Amino acid sequence: MTDPAEPLLTELHDLALEAARRAGALLRDGRPDDLAVARTKSSPIDVVTEMDIAAEKLITGFLAEHRPQDGFLGEEGASSPGTSGIRWVIDPLDGTVNYLYGLPTWAVSIAAERDGETVVGVVEAPMRGETYHAVLGRGAHAGDRPLAVRPAPPFDQALLGTGFGYLKIRRERQAEVVRQLIPRVRDIRRGGSAAVDLCDVAAGRLDAYYERGLNPWDLAAGALVAREAGALTGGRPGEPESGELTVAASPGLFGPLQELLEELGAWHD
């Protein structure tokens, strides 16, 4: 018997892919080559902010045209509850500092929630030439290639990803956690985009990823991609991922890492 939800999930997935593709092209093609030293605006940050807002307007406009009853939650202010039970969670430009400096690790992140559960996730990384996408229960892919987490290594051979917040006191605390953690693992990477880091766990490019201070739009799509590739995700022990702490790892690594992060106090400033 066909699940009546299947056509809906396919529709949401296809719309998210197209919206992310369009926004990614806008950001890639609209970025001035000399953005980091731009003089045409009061500051380069203004240019990034304008691109960020333009990308979110493109995404919400496209989705609202096709599904006018859906709700939105976006980093740049899009917020409406909708009436359909579907809510789009959007980060139009995850990795803004990378974008500002011309580094390639930035992405468009779009997730669809149905009655509060994430059912579709798309992370478009234009400068990588990759689109990561997942539908609940259907696995995760980069383009047409299925994604699968790397088998868990011994803890001291694990390659971790993380990120740092903008507030000085939080960054100091996060640096202290890294200082205590790095002798116990292979190494730690800091990519600059939570959405891409989560997808790198899905693709086997990282064994695990953790970060404090993420917003729903930072993690919604990437966390689904990671889970559908076989990763476990969560926050503090027994809790879901949240702004307090987000952890994603292959199953054999997830528990030990989560426990160590709890011990190190990675969940508080």
Domain chopping of the chain, boundaries: 5-146, 155-264
Task: Please give the Cα distance from 140 to 135 (Å, whole number).
Answer: 7
Its CATH class, for the domain covering 5-146, is alpha beta
Helix (H, G, I), strand (E, B) or coil at 182: helix
pTM: 0.95
The topology (CATH level 3) of 155-264 is D-Maltodextrin-Binding Protein; domain 2 (3.40.190)
Query: What does the block give as tokens for 79?
Result: 């917020």
Give pLDDT tens digits for 155-203: 999 999 999 999 999 999 999 999 999 999 999 999 999 999 999 999 9
pLDDT tier, 78 (very low <50, low <70, confident <90, very high otherwise): confident
Give pLDDT tens digits for 217-227: 999 999 999 99
Please name the residues in contact with 142: beta carbons below 8 A apart, sequence gap of 6 or more. Answer: 130, 131, 132, 199, 203
